[in-house]
Amino acid sequence: MRFLLIVLVSLLLAAPLDGRAEPDPHQLDAARIADLYAAKTADAPPQNAAEKEAEKDLKTLSADIDRSGDELLASLNAKLEPWMWWVACGIWVVSVFLVGRLIEFTFRRLFPGRGISWLGRIFRVFCYLICSLVAVFLFLHGFGASALARPVIRIEGKLILLAAAFGVADLALVTVNIGIDRYLTSTDPSGQPVARSPRVLTLLPLLRNIAMVTLGGVLVLMVLGQFGVNIAPLLAGAGVVGVAVGFGSQKLVQDVITGAFMLFENTLAIGDTVKIGDHTGTVEGMTIRTLRLRDVNGQLHTIPFSSVTTVINMSRDFGYHNFELRISYDSNIDRAMEVIAETVTGMQNDPDMCADILAPADIYGVAQLAEWAVVLTGAIKTPPGRQYAVGRAFNRRIKAAFDRAGIKFGTPFQTVRLLKD
């Protein structure tokens, strides 16, 4: 009803209500077209004969279409009674309401839990406007107000083009979203979710946002073009503004370029544990300008890409748990190394730990003879991010194994000598 009221008010304000004889609409259209053509001809560069002939054919075609539509409406006005137009208006309103409910019900059944995108909402608004204009057109013809009904056709033609553009864009965006969601949530024949790489999980949502922004920009230009706005100066102005922003916001440009290269080079991805400068944590999210890290204390760090100079990624390929054991000087060093190897082998044979041990222990040997202990060092190869859990399990097991083997850990001591006079 609000759309109908707005359309009626705009038509009444535009109509000639001063009691004078209304001029012929064909003469108005012809005069308006002639004025516009003369103005454009004065500003436009010289055209060749082929272009002039094409413009002439286009004007002739447009006039023929208008004439045919007027003749059809005149014949309908002569054959139909006013109440028939009102009945047609009522049938149209009821049909639109029922079809809208059917489409909404079908959408909810086919896509449960999926909301309507912003493009879909704009498309629905255009559909409401078109249906309202059709109802206004039929209603006005019932009163014989053909002069008021004619502008409705011109407005409705532009709205139909815009609605078609938004509908196609919404369909494309919905298709992209459904494809991405199904790819990310797909399952194997056994019903288990298919694991996707962190790079895919990072890039696909960004590509979705890029597609949405691109479609939005194209549709805005289409809307402006349909309402007579010359978009060529807007595009030129946007280029100038882009250059000015590029010079004035070099940090912003650096953020975007660095972020794009990091994403496409797969330097880091969502879920990776990384160290960037003084910040260490798990990558929780990324935009094209910044990334967000969640540290072990639960604090969120937002870092612009331009400040990222070095990335230490601890979630790629594999990791190592490096251990350092200090045993006493009176312990058997060879036996201690055998116990370390046996402990890691036992962890490999444990069903709960075997997936976290990728290779036997790499025991480097005696790394240092300290003042109060012999230092043995080595490393255990693990999957990325599992070195911390493996280190905790290894420390617990090696303590028990050393106790059973009678190997003592070195403890600091101090020797005091008392000299007699």
pLDDT at 115: 67
Low-confidence ranges of the chain (pLDDT < 50): 1-31, 33-34, 36-37, 40-47
How is the chain split among helix, strand and coil, in percent rounded to 5?
60, 15, 25
Distance CA 45, CA 65 (A): 29
Q: Supply 180's token pair.
A: 């991405």
pLDDT at 248: 63
Considering the segment(s) 319-405 as one domain, its CATH architecture is 2-Layer Sandwich (3.30)
Give the tens place of pLDDT for each residue, 80-101: 666 777 777 778 778 877 877 7
Give the tens place of pLDDT for each residue, 43-58: 444 445 666 666 666 6
Cα–Cα nearest to 275, from 320, 310, 305: 310
Q: Supply 43's token pair.
A: 């500003």
CA angle 240, 245, 249 (to 5 degrees): 160
pLDDT at 23: 44
pTM: 0.47
Distance CA 244, CA 263 (A): 26
pLDDT at 20: 38
Indicate if 319-405 has the same CATH topology as 230-315: no
Contact 341, 365 (CB under 8 A): no
pLDDT at 125: 77
For residue 230, the Cα-to-chain-centroid distance in whole angstroms is: 30
Please give the CATH number for the structural domain made up of 230-315: 2.30.30.60
- From residue 243, give the alpha-carbon distance in Å to each of 128, 229, 250, 289: 40, 23, 11, 18
What DSSP character marks residue 74?
H
Domain ranges of the chain: 1-12+71-195, 230-315, 319-405
Contact 373, 327 (CB under 8 A): yes
